[in-house]
């Protein structure tokens, strides 16, 4: 079931990626690069998770994909903020550049830790810290994003954060891990629409 849920996530991320790529046509390079990085990180997250749970019966192979699975979370967090940093937060100040630099530095630290099998507590703290780091930009992120995009961004963050409970419970009760996957899909969906609204001013019902 775990591989099926995030296998569905791969499908959704590819469909969403093609949609954003179409939206980005005719926009400046910073829009296209930001969207490209985000889509890559989104597909990488769901793909690595699907492979990780598909090869659990092969101990060594499963362990390798588990490393990539944990590393991809850092990649997605930084990747999700990247288009917002490139486009919205960089329009009038250096905030976007600074935030992106900090996020990608933390992502590099986190991914390195994953390859050396860092403790789970360290990973969870770093995930949450990175995910809510934009709060420290203060009122600037509120001013730089459309209200709908800001609301969707917060809802996505709450979904991811709330799902951590089931991730932890799932360590001892594996049946709960699939609930964590559902929260991840919900969070990713909120953030997809947040980015589409923030970058292209197209809400969830705008598909042309």
Q: In whole angstroms, what is the distance from residue 59 CA to residue 25 CA?
A: 44
| 144 touches 88 (CB < 8 A) | yes
* Size (the chain), residues: 208
Would residue 80 be called left, alpha or beta, if left means φ above 0 and alpha means ψ between -120 and 50 degrees?
alpha
Q: Is 181 annotated as a binding residue?
A: yes
| 197 touches 149 (CB < 8 A) | yes
Give CA angle at 205 (203, 207), nearest 5°. Answer: 90
Q: Is 70 annotated as a binding residue?
A: no
Q: Is 177 annotated as a binding residue?
A: yes
Binding residues for Zn(2+): 53, 177, 181
């Amino acid at each position: 079931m775990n591989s099926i849920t995030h296998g569905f996530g791969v499908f959704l991320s590819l469909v969403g990626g093609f949609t954003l790529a179409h939206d980005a046509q005719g926009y400046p390079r910073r829009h296209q690069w930001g969207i490209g990085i985000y889509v890559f990180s989104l597909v990488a997250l769901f793909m690595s998770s699907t492979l990780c749970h598909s090869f659990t019966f092969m101990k060594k192979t499963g362990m390798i994909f588990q490393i990539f699975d944990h590393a991809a979370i850092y990649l997605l967090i930084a990747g999700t903020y990247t288009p917002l940093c490139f486009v919205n937060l960089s329009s009038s100040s250096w905030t976007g550049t600074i935030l992106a630099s900090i996020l990608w530095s933390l992502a590099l630290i986190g991914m390195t830790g994953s390859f050396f099998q860092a403790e789970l507590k360290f990973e969870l703290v770093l995930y949450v810290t990175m995910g809510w780091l934009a709060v420290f930009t203060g009122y600037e992120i509120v001013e730089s994003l459309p209200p709908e995009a800001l609301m969707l961004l917060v809802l996505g963050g709450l979904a991811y954060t709330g799902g951590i409970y089931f991730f932890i419970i799932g360590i001892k009760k594996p049946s709960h891990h699939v609930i964590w996957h559902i929260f991840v899909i919900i969070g990713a969906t909120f953030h997809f629409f947040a980015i589409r609204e923030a970058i292209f001013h197209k809400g969830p019902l705008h598909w042309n």
